[in-house]
Amino acid sequence: MRLLLATTNQGKIKELNKILGDEGFALEGLGKQAAEVEESGATFAENALLKARYHHQRTGLVTIADDSGLEVEALNGQPGIYSARYAGAGASDLDRINKLLQEIKEVPDAQRAARFVCVAALVWQGGERVFVGEVRGQLLRATRGDNGFGYDPIFYFAPLGKSFAELSDAEKTAISHRGVAFRQLAQWLKEHWQEVEERYRRYAGKDCADD
């Protein structure tokens, strides 16, 4: 049985293959030509499900998709689901960071809490589930570090005394919102894989009177 990860983001595919690979699963990403699904939901979960349902319907494969972003306490949870679009179309990671730093420049250090959230959705014949991960940190006043992507250079994680962009890939996966959500998903799949496969067999044999 193949697992589809509904993203064209190669970094994501690599990171998540590592997590799911540890549990014996292999993921394949979407081809470069894959249609973009409009993220029109009002929550991370709705957007993740929209993507996973679309590609599951198209391919019939057990499909995983995620949506993630940064919620800033002083901005009542913004940019949230708009994290990728925060500085408009065509903007770079640095543009988004600069816009956010500008927006919160008057916010004192003690009130610069933020969290990364990731919702991973799993859709298969006859079922769907979502898994949520989050990690809490503080927003810095200037960037630190060159690793990672997105808002990593301004997200400070006090327990390690580093920004997310100062962590190695393995360190980040061990604590990140995406790592947390996908480890739960991997664990669930491991425990329920037979059930999921059985469902496929029944659908394939059109033996699903109770569906």
Tokens 């008057």 label which residue?
106
The closest residue (CB) to ligand ITT is 150
User: Is 67 annotated as catalytic?
Assistant: yes
Comparison of 50 and 62: residue with beta carbon closer to ligand ITT? 50
C-beta separation of 149 from 164 below 8 A: no
C-beta separation of 73 from 114 below 8 A: yes
Nearest to 84 by CA among 52, 109, 55, 47: 47
- Identify each DSSP E strand in the chain by its residue range: 3-5, 27-28, 62-72, 113-124, 127-139, 155-157, 162-163
Comparison of 114 and 189: residue with beta carbon closer to ligand ITT? 114
In the set 66, 67, 93, 146, the catalytic residue is: 67
CB of 64 to ligand ITT, least distance (A): 10
CA distance 99 to 70: 14
C-beta separation of 135 from 116 below 8 A: yes
Comparison of 14 and 149: residue with beta carbon closer to ligand ITT? 149
Comparison of 72 and 186: residue with beta carbon closer to ligand ITT? 72
CB of 189 to ligand ITT, least distance (A): 19
CB of 176 to ligand ITT, least distance (A): 5
CB of 21 to ligand ITT, least distance (A): 18
Q: How many residues in total does the chain contain?
A: 211
**Residues pairing with 119 in the sheet:** 67, 132
Rule CB under 6 A: which residues touch ligand ITT? 7-9, 12, 66-70, 83-84, 116, 148-152, 164, 176, 178
C-beta separation of 67 from 48 below 8 A: yes
Furthest-apart CA atoms within the chain: distance in Å: 63
For the annotated catalytic residues, the residue numbers are 67
